[in-house]
Structure 1
């Protein structure tokens, strides 16, 4: 089971970091989010609401906004949307097509490091 979510790297970028819309996997407890070979846990940081468990980098992670304005109003740069979620994204936003001025369609690797992260957390 997966959810379509918006993710943006905040550490070192503020509102202009790389951003993605893609499939995330949630842990059974819902405390950990897995995406693109990374794992994130809830965090109250300076600019992010999640932290990468392995790197300590801050991310902003949220559901996809119905109005299509996922990136912070002060942010710039295109958001990469996974090709496999385009139809679901368009259904959520009600848009007839991908807005190429804001989004670029790409292939995001579905790699969910559940075992690696569980091992790491158990060591801590």
Structure 2
């Protein structure tokens, strides 16, 4: 499995890009079709209007993507993500120009 520092945003029951967001460590399955985050199992979905994963237990929809160095992770709002303590140091180094762990080659 691959661990990645990711931007995660809840899309269900929120206006476009207004849901809570996090910078978190996400573990992906070998096929990258399943993500494990904050005790949730998220599966890659198709046909969702503004999300790319859904929670297999609650059906809540999420957007997962690599974080942007400029902090502009949402498309239509200025929501700032909560940064999980276990990734704070790596994320802050990323904002200063360092690669994220596991992405040293790009």
Task: Tell me, yes or no, whether TM beats 0.5.
Answer: yes
- Give 1 or 2: higher helix fraction: 1
Tell me how far apart the structure 1 counterparts of residues 88 and 28 of structure 2 sit (CA, whole Å): 20
Contact in 1 for aligned 2:17/2:79 (Cα 8 Å): no
TM-score under structure 1 length normalisation: 0.68
4+ residue runs of structure 1 moved beyond 6 angstroms? none
TM-score under structure 2 length normalisation: 0.78
Give the total of aligned pairs. 94
Tell me how far apart the structure 2 counterparts of residues 63 and 5 of structure 1 sit (CA, whole Å): 5
Equivalent position of 2:56 in the other structure: 53
CA RMSD after TM alignment: 1.7
Unaligned runs of 5+ in 2: 98-106
Unaligned runs of 5+ in 1: 96-124
Equivalent position of 2:80 in the other structure: 78
Structure of higher CA gyration radius: 1
